[in-house]
Amino acid sequence: MIDNWLDKLDWSLLLPLIFEWGLKVVGAVAVFLIGRWIAGVVSRSVRRLVIHNNIDVALASFLSRITYVVLLVTVAVAALSTLGFQMASVLAVMGAAGLAVRLALQGSLFNFAAGVMLILFRPFKAGDFIEAAGVSGIVEDMHLFNTLLRTPDNREVTVPNAQITSEPITNFLARPTRRVDLVVGISYDDDIRKAKETIETTLTEEDRVLADPVPQIMVLELGESSVNIAVRPWVKTDNYWDARGDLLHALKTRLEANGFSLPFPQRDLHLFEMPAREAANG
């Protein structure tokens, strides 16, 4: 039956048509493969160019991925055009498909738009220690839809970009200097003026404490168990945690060596003995 059907075909008309479409298919495949290779080369070149100009690594990755996606879509359109599809029809179909994808992936598109906003306004860069969307960590990389953070205990946390832009972002490394906020408590019987002088001497001996701005040493409050003194020196941002820990140790040691007590919350419990008659009736 198949042989009879094949015998009835007019091969004089089909062969040129098959040959023509075969060439179109081969051409479309060639356009797509070569175009995809070119898109990869261009996107990698964009990344290298951005990094070469000392621009943020996260920005380089983001721009490289966008460049690749845009070029790949352009290559796909060109390949369809090689097959003989009209550009207007292709664009109309892509527009309808894009609408369907947008409705199905609204959350992802929000993340993409948020990523674009992060690139434009750049509240942080790769290597910054930030707090965003309830997560604290070092910015490792920025993708089209999410940002990769590395926490202080070396965990990787992937945070959607939309969550980052929808909440406050704290960049701990944005400024070259930071203020260290400490509170030191002394007894009500201690000499406040002498305590402040001792604290000032301790700060002066710490090389990492900056002379400008001048450190603040002031009585913060009269607490329940102690007179609380605020100690607010400034240090370089890179030295913040080391300086903070060493200052706490030095302040405690110096104050105790100079006869100051560092009180802690305590309560006096008074016990009253009831008369035997009342206790019996109770």
pLDDT of residue 20: 63
pLDDT of residue 205: 94
Residue that is written with structure tokens 């479309």 in the block: 28
Q: Is the pLDDT of residue 105 over 50?
A: no
pLDDT of residue 47: 76
For residue 230, the one-letter residue type is: A
Q: Is the pLDDT of residue 19 over 80?
A: no
- 88 with 135, same domain: the answer is no
User: In CATH, what number is assigned to the domain containing residue 197?
Assistant: 3.30.70.100
- 92 with 133, same domain: the answer is no
What pLDDT digit, counting tens, does each position of 127-157 carry?
Answer: 899 999 999 999 998 887 889 999 999 999 9
Residues facing 147 on adjacent strands: 142, 159
Could you list the residue range(s) of the whole structural domain that residue 47 is in? 10-104
Average pLDDT estimate for 185-211: 94
Number of structural domains in the chain: 3
- 18 with 82, same domain: the answer is yes
- 141 with 204, same domain: the answer is no
- 221 with 251, same domain: the answer is yes
- 224 with 244, same domain: the answer is yes
Q: What is the mean pLDDT of the chain?
A: 80
Average pLDDT estimate for 168-189: 94
Q: The dihedral of CA 18, 20, 25, 26: what is its sign?
A: positive
Asked whether residue 182 is domain-assigned, the answer is: yes
